Every structure is written in structure tokens, then in C-alpha cells.
Amino acid sequence: MNPELYPLGLRIAGRPVVVVGGGPVAARRTRSLVRAGAHVRVVAPEVCEDLAALVAPLPDGAARPDGSGPAGTVAWEARSFRPGDVEGAWLVHTATGSPEVDAAVAAEAESLRVFCVSAGDAEAGTAWVPAVARVTVGGGGAGGAAGSSPAVVASDADATEITVAVSAGRDPRRAQRVRDAIDALLATGELPLRPVRPAAHGRGSVALVGGGPGDPGLVTARGRRLLAQAEVVVTDRLGPRALLDGLADDVVVIDVGKTPGFHPVPQEEINALLVEHALAGRRVVRLKGGDPYVFGRGGEELIACEEHGIPVEVVPGVTSAVSVPAAVGIPVTHRGWSRGFTVLTGHEDIGKVPAASDHTVVLLMGVSRLRDSAAALVASGRSPETPVAVVEDGYGPRQRSTVGTLATIADVATAAGVRAPAVTVIGDVVRVSPAWRAAGLD
């Protein structure tokens, strides 16, 4: 630990800063200063291409090619450093590559009581630039950058930024590695991101997050991040419920899970819950199994929120229609065997599916109607010998694959005690699975 280092954040928007040097290091420093809103004066006989792009004049309101403007400004004086250049600056960065010039800049800054960052010799300066990770929470947009990886950039007025600065003495690469590790945890929501102070204007939002087939490792990084910011989570039975264990104690968790034939909270009430909490100024996450738009009624929830002027973000998820078969070695398409697939909920439209042998059928929520579905497919032209696999509890503790044919699967599943949740796959692709081969059905 360096007891002489006093960590401090500087608000330099609208204030003059001098950068001495025209190379890549000076360009990086200038870019960060412009993003912070500083009025930068570059002093260097020549500048590199990246720095020249920052210096180039822009139309009013235009953004620079690297996305750094137009928050700050950059002016270039094409000459060498000379005494008096530091006068009036709030901060100085020197990165000339010449120890003599950098020392002269640092000495003048010292005499004028201006803090100086010296890229060539940290001990010669009076300030240091740490490795920085940033993530903006709140609001509804995505994109931007934090440290060295993507993060959240919100567009709403209640967005706030978390900035983590890492200093490792005279070992900048070590600082960068620590920063990158923190940055990754911020990006995935594994560090606490939820604001403690409520938004002043009280406007809430809703995120429809697809949680995937249930394994917490299969939710997207964006979904994890939004969960870390949530004040209210409305969850399904088949979502990655293990993620709820990591939420703060004061996060409101509302379980609206459905089981076959039992829907304790009708969809209209779920919509009303989302609207109620968002209008109260809370950040709401609707955590769903699979993907919000694959038999998840996400479209209905979006419409309900938009009717009340509530901003909504939809975060795609890994649908169980594809991922659960994959968990037991079944691809829904396979060269030479299947050129496409249809996903249904196992109801009356199943007889309308193409009867081609190279077209896979995937049934969700179809265990209770398995016998009727198999009969309807045979009646519409499918061979009774078409392979079938019923995959229970994909990625869960009781994951199991039961195989048969359209002619036999209902009896086989009944004998095996197959129960929901399960995904049924119908087609020649089932022959790829280890369960089919182990059953010796070919």
C-alpha cells in the first residue's frame, strides 16, 4: 500500500486541461478527458492518427468517430512544449516519450500548483491515472464500454454510473488485470448494482428477461445484470430460480408460477402487477423460463406496459425448445435428416404440421396429451415408426430421456412415469441421441 496516494475523483467538465505529446498514450488520455467534458489543449509538433481524429473540427452536436464527442473539446498547438503552457490549466498530462520534456512539464506544473500525470515516469508526476471499470445502471438502453468490455449505458434520466478505479502502485498491468476482473463481475451483475437511493422522479421500468431452461449458467449476462438492479422480480416456475437466492433481502419476489392445469395468477393479474410496481417507480424484472416470446406471453406483457407509458426492455433467453433436446444429445436439425423444425404446445394444431420425414416437431407442455398428439401425427401422414424422445426436466436434477416411436411412446412414457416439465422431440434426429442408441431401437 502506498500511504502517499490519496484516491480522488475529479470533475473536469468545462475546465481546461493540457496534454503534452502526440502519440498513442496522449490520444488515450485525451479521449478519456473529452468523454469527461474537459476542454483539452494538445501541445505536440505532430499527432498520431487517433489523436488527429479527436482534434478534427466537428459540426455542432456531431459525435466523434470513436464516440468520445462532443462532450469536451480538443485544440492542437503544433509545436514543442515551452514555458507558460501549463498556465491556467486545472490538470496536465505529459506523454512525450522524452524524459527531459516530461520532467520540464512536471516541474512547471509543480511550480504552478497544478496536478500533473507523467506517463513516462509515474514518480515524476503528482497524479496517477488508475485502471477504470464503469457500468451505468438504471434507464433502459444497452451498449457503451466499461474499462475494456461492454457494459450498460442507459438513456433514462435516472441512470447512474458506478466507477471503480484500481491502482497497483507502479504495476499498471496488474491494475488492469484486477480492473478487468471487476469489470466482468459488474457486466454480469455478480456485484451489487441496485441503487439504494430511490430515483427522484419516481419513474419505473420493466424488463422481460428470458431465463433459459432453468440452469442459472444459461441466462444471458444482460439478464443477470438487470436482476442485480431489480427492486421487484416477478418469476415463473420454470425460470432459473437459483438466481433468486443471490438477491438482496429487500428485493420483492412475486411467484406467479403455473403448473399443468393450475394457474394461480391469471395473465391479466400478472400484467397488472408489472404495471403497478413500475408506476410506483420501481425497477421490475419479469423473470421467465426460456425466451419471453416463445410461448411466454411476453408480447402481451409488453403491450400492457406500453399502454401505461412504462419503458420495457426485452432480453432474449435460450428457449427450451432447442436447448433441452440439446442437453440429451438431440439436434433439432441435422444434415441429411432434418432441414427444419416446428415448435408447438402439443395441442390441436399438431395435425397441420408438415408430414415430411425431414421436418422435426418439438412439443412443449405436451406430456398430458402425448397419446393424442402421436395419433394426430400418424393420422396426418407420419410413419408410426417415427422416433420420439421425451426429455424431462432439462438441465435439472431429474433430467431424463425416454425414447420410443409414435406407435409406442405413449405407453413407454406412462410405464416410465414421465411427468412435466418435459419437451418432446419427434423425428429422425432422435436417432442421434445416446438414449436411442442405448435402447437398441434401430
- For the segment 403-418, what is each residue's pLDDT rounded down to a tens digit? 999 999 999 999 999 9
Between CA 114 and CA 164 the distance in angstroms is 24
Quick one: which of 144, 98, 136, 142 has its CA closest to 118? 98
In a domain, 1, yes or no: no
Whether residue 84 is found in the same domain as residue 151: no
Q: How confident is the model at residue 120 (pLDDT cuts 50, 70, 90)?
A: confident
Query: Percent of the chain, pLDDT > 90?
Result: 55
**What is the pLDDT, as a whole number, of residue 64?**
46
**What is the pLDDT, as a whole number, of residue 136?**
67
Annotation marks residue 102 as catalytic: no
In a domain, 200, yes or no: no
Q: Which of 85, 158, 236, 291 is flagged as catalytic? A: 236
What angle (nearest 5°) sits at the alpha carbon of residue 406, between those of residues 401 and 411? Answer: 65
**What is the pLDDT, as a whole number, of residue 131?**
80
**What is the pLDDT, as a whole number, of residue 378?**
93
Q: How confident is the model at residue 198 (pLDDT cuts 50, 70, 90)?
A: low
Q: What is the CATH number of the domain that holds 37?
A: 3.40.50.720
At 408, the amino acid letter reads T
Lowest mean pLDDT among 103-112, 189-198, 364-373: 189-198
**What is the pLDDT, as a whole number, of residue 441?**
82
Whether residue 364 is found in the same domain as residue 314: no
User: Does pTM surpass 0.85?
Assistant: no
**What is the pLDDT, as a whole number, of residue 270?**
94
Q: Is the pLDDT of residue 388 over 90?
A: yes
**What is the pLDDT, as a whole number, of residue 152?**
32
C-alpha cell at 119: 506517463
Q: Is the pLDDT of residue 349 over 70?
A: yes
**What is the pLDDT, as a whole number, of residue 167?**
77
Annotation marks residue 352 as catalytic: no
In a domain, 429, yes or no: yes
Whether residue 40 is found in the same domain as residue 61: yes
Whether residue 24 is found in the same domain as residue 105: yes
Query: In Å, how far are 56, 343, 434 from 93, measured between CA atoms?
Result: 20, 60, 63
Whether residue 247 is found in the same domain as residue 150: no
In a domain, 240, yes or no: yes
- Are the C-beta atoms of residues 15 and 3 closer than 8 Å to each other? no
Cα torsion 432, 433, 438, 439: sign: negative
In a domain, 339, yes or no: yes
Quick one: which of 333, 319, 342, 326 has its CA closest to 399? 326
Q: Is the pLDDT of residue 58 over 70?
A: no
Q: Residues 263-274: what's their mean pLDDT?
A: 88
Whether residue 300 is found in the same domain as residue 252: yes
- Which of 344-352's residues contact partners 24+ apart within 8 Å by CB, and which partners? 345/295, 346/370, 346/373, 346/424, 350/376, 350/377, 350/380, 351/376, 351/377, 351/379, 351/380, 352/380
Q: Please state whether the peptide bond connecting residue 421 to the residue before it is cis, i.e. omega within 30 degrees of 0.
A: yes
Q: What is the CATH number of the domain that holds 272?
A: 3.40.1010.10
Between CA 175 and CA 171 the distance in angstroms is 7
Whether residue 213 is found in the same domain as residue 241: yes
Q: Residues 159-188: what's their mean pLDDT?
A: 77
In a domain, 199, yes or no: no
Lowest mean pLDDT among 151-160, 215-224, 276-285: 151-160
**What is the pLDDT, as a whole number, of residue 148?**
33
**What is the pLDDT, as a whole number, of residue 355?**
84
The secondary structure element, H or E, covering residue 342 is: strand 340-344
**What is the pLDDT, as a whole number, of residue 332?**
94
How far apart are the two ends of the chain, measured CA to CA in Å?
69
Q: Which of 215, 255, 258, 358 is flagged as catalytic? A: 258
Lowest mean pLDDT among 92-106, 273-287, 308-322, 338-352: 338-352
Q: How confident is the model at residue 163 (pLDDT cuts 50, 70, 90)?
A: confident
More confident residue, 292 or 198: 292
Most confident of 142-146, 153-157, 226-230, 327-331: 327-331
Whether residue 101 is found in the same domain as residue 143: no
Between CA 271 and CA 299 the distance in angstroms is 11
Lowest mean pLDDT among 32-46, 131-145, 261-275: 131-145
Whether residue 423 is found in the same domain as residue 362: yes
In a domain, 195, yes or no: no
3-state DSSP assignment of residue 335 = coil
Q: Is the pLDDT of residue 226 over 70?
A: yes
Between CA 442 and CA 438 the distance in angstroms is 10
Q: How confident is the model at residue 71 (pLDDT cuts 50, 70, 90)?
A: low
Whether residue 217 is found in the same domain as residue 111: no
Whether residue 351 is found in the same domain as residue 285: no
DSSP-derived secondary structure for 275-311: HHHHHTT-EEEEEESB-TTSSS-HHHHHHHHHTTT--
Query: In Å, how far are 326, 389, 405, 424 from 356, measured between CA atoms?
Result: 22, 18, 16, 18
- Are the C-beta atoms of residues 109 and 126 closer than 8 Å to each other? yes
Q: Is the pLDDT of residue 156 over 50?
A: no
* Non-local CB neighbours of 349 within 8 Å, separated by 6+ positions: none
Q: How confident is the model at residue 257 (pLDDT cuts 50, 70, 90)?
A: confident
Whether residue 276 is found in the same domain as residue 345: no
- Are the C-beta atoms of residues 275 and 296 closer than 8 Å to each other? no
Question: What domain range is 374 assigned to?
Answer: 322-439
In a domain, 236, yes or no: yes
C-alpha cell at 47: 499527432
- Strands 160-166, 205-210: pairing is unpaired
What's the number of domains the chain is made of? Answer: 4
Q: Residues 181-205: what's their mean pLDDT?
A: 71
